[in-house]
Structure 1
Amino acid sequence: MAAAPPDPAPPPKPAPSPRRRPVAGRLLLTALLGLGAVAGATLTWVAAAPEERLAFDLNAPPDAFTGLRLRLLALSPGACRATLQRSGLGAAPAPPRPFTDGCGYDDGVVLSGLALAPAPVMRCPLAAAYALFERHVLQPAAERRFGARAVAVGHFGTYACRNVYHRASGRRSQHATANALDLASARLSTGRVVTVAGGWDEPGPAGLFLRDLRAGACGLFGTVLSPDYNAAHADHFHLDRGMARICR
């Protein structure tokens, strides 16, 4: 009797397919890698000197981060002075006024290389904001409305140890810390002088020019007050770098 044939060998088991990492796991890994990159960049930023971290170029047009950069300059007088120097501006340090009864400053500078005349003492972050304003708001507006440059920008000063509206009591003005500037006029290269008092209600180029200045200033200063605000500002723009946000 013939022997029975051997049972056929079982078919080979298919090789296990590589396990796919769950989508959630891949997303988590990607997020962790991204956080690692951000953390590395942050450590590099923190390790740098404050002047290197915070200084920026005022020749560049303002962008969405300009307001924050100006705020950060108040944390480092060195970074603020570096910003002015990097931007090609002369900035002579002003002798400090010790803070007394809510008045004084310790980071005052006197700018040169701009049309603001005479050059007043301003806190350094206010000076940086004004430099941006003159370069990227005032001069372009003068070119647009008059085809000319502003060669002298008149003002009513910066520092004054006083309360708001010169009241006998109440809160201190931003002028009490040289953190405010009152602009009154602009003399153009054509010889024309545009004043806030005389040009605000003019329907022609002067009125348009002054409204260009107010609109542009509102993006660089915390508070901007014009003749539309009240009679006390009928002849000037009040510009300050305080915490309040007013554009009138």
Structure 2
Amino acid sequence: MRHVYRWLRRLVWLLFIGVAVLAAYALMRGRPQDLPWTPLDLAQPPGLFTGRKLAALTQQPEQCRALLDRAGIAYTALGPQGSGQCVHNDTVRLKAVAGAVALSPSSAPSCPVVAALKLWEWNVVQPAAQRLFRSQVKRIEHFGSFSCRRMYGRSRGDFSEHATADAIDISGFVLADGRRVRVLRDWKGQGKDAQFLHEVRDGACGLFSTVLSPDYNAAHADHLHLDQAERGAMGWRACR
């Protein structure tokens, strides 16, 4: 027992020292978003724990909408949607604002998905477009968010994150200069279009619980699947 107690005490001290080092490192860099206990701020660049904090918002719709408000994101909060296994009450529809990236007017993802999308746009998508194309993305094209179904449309098994609008399938991007980049056409190319798509896929992995691309399987050959599954709040992520 003494040996076990001694081992546990050392483990606690190691954890304490690790947390202290992490806190000191984050504060020295001026990046409080790298700490797990600091509140999420959409105005700050993503930190080490931003993805977990975004996924945790799936159980905090009011806090999520407050974050959108503080970040100046124009949206309309919708009431309860769906029924049965597919009921959800945290969807929001982005409003059309001059100069903002557009989504289809019919799109109404869950608030955590919208929060992650905006961080992705600001910190990943637009910088990549500017660097590679010297242009801004003006529209993100997609196949929708809500679909009351099980994974892969099967008759049995777990329900998809689409069943509660906690996912969105991105099919392409339209730039301000008229250029159009499509996942289906450009993913396997060798030029800047393919490079852009791979960069934005990789950048999404730190913000969404699940990111699936054409590299995963044939079912995702024409889109990037981005979702905020609750397991992401515990650090269980998938990026393919």
TM-score class, shorter-chain normalisation, is: 0.7 to 0.9
Unaligned runs of 5+ in 2: 1-15, 17-36
Q: Is the 8 A contact 2:55 2:209 kept in 1?
A: no
Q: Deviations over 1:86-105 (max 9, x none)?
A: 111012111212540x2121
Q: Is the 8 A contact 2:40 2:50 kept in 1?
A: no
Q: Which runs of 4+ in 1 moved over 4 A?
A: none
Letter in 1 for 2:189: E
Aligned CA RMSD, in angstroms, stands at 1.9
- Higher relative CO (Cα under 8 Å, sequence separation at least 6) belongs to 2
2:63 maps to 1:79: yes
Letter in 1 for 2:196: F
Q: Using the alignment, how far apart are the partners of 2:102 and 2:47 within structure 1?
A: 23
SS of aligned partner of 1:220:
coil
Q: Using the alignment, how far apart are the partners of 2:71 and 2:165 within structure 1?
A: 22
Q: Using the alignment, how far apart are the partners of 1:128 and 1:182 within structure 2?
A: 15
- The alignment's TM-score, normalised by the length of structure 1, stands at 0.74
Alignment of 1:157-172 (within 5 A): 157-172=144-159
Identity %: 43
Letter in 2 for 1:184: S
2:79 maps to 1:95: yes
2:228 maps to 1:241: yes
Q: Using the alignment, how far apart are the partners of 1:246 and 1:76 within structure 2?
A: 22
1:111 to 88, 94, 101: 94
Task: Tell me which residue corresponds to 1:229.
Answer: 216
Q: Using the alignment, how far apart are the partners of 1:204 and 1:108 within structure 2?
A: 37
Letter in 2 for 1:97: Q
Greater shift, 64-73 or 179-188, is seen at 64-73
Letter in 2 for 1:108: T
Greater Rg by CA: 1
> How big is the shift at 1:55?
6.1
Q: Using the alignment, how far apart are the partners of 2:82 and 2:217 within structure 1?
A: 33
Greater helix fraction, Structure 1 or Structure 2: 2
2:122 maps to 1:135: yes
Q: Using the alignment, how far apart are the partners of 1:98 and 1:169 within structure 2?
A: 19
Task: Tell me which residue corresponds to 1:203.
Answer: 190
SS of aligned partner of 1:92:
strand
> How big is the shift at 1:246?
1.2
Q: Using the alignment, how far apart are the partners of 2:82 and 2:165 within structure 1?
A: 12
Task: Tell me which residue corresponds to 1:187.
Answer: 174
Q: Is the 8 A contact 1:184 1:195 kept in 2?
A: yes
Q: Is the 8 A contact 1:224 1:240 kept in 2?
A: yes
Q: Deviations over 1:160-195 (max 9, x none)?
A: 000111112211000000000000010001101000
> How big is the shift at 1:79?
1.2
Q: Using the alignment, how far apart are the partners of 1:206 and 1:60 within structure 2?
A: 28
Greater strand fraction, Structure 1 or Structure 2: 1
- The alignment's TM-score, normalised by the length of structure 2, stands at 0.77
Q: Deviations over 1:131-167 (max 9, x none)?
A: 1111111111111110100001100000000011111
Unaligned runs of 5+ in 1: 1-30, 32-52
Letter in 1 for 2:183: V
Residues 131 and 89 from structure 1, CA distance in 2 versus in 1: closer, same or farther, beyond 3 angstroms?
same
Task: Tell me which residue corresponds to 1:18.
Answer: none
How many residues are paired up?
196
Q: Deviations over 1:14-40 (max 9, x none)?
A: xxxxxxxxxxxxxxxxx9xxxxxxxxx
Greater shift, 117-126 or 213-222, is seen at 117-126
Residues 165 and 130 from structure 1, CA distance in 2 versus in 1: closer, same or farther, beyond 3 angstroms?
same
Q: Deviations over 1:94-125 (max 9, x none)?
A: 1212540x212111111234424214111111
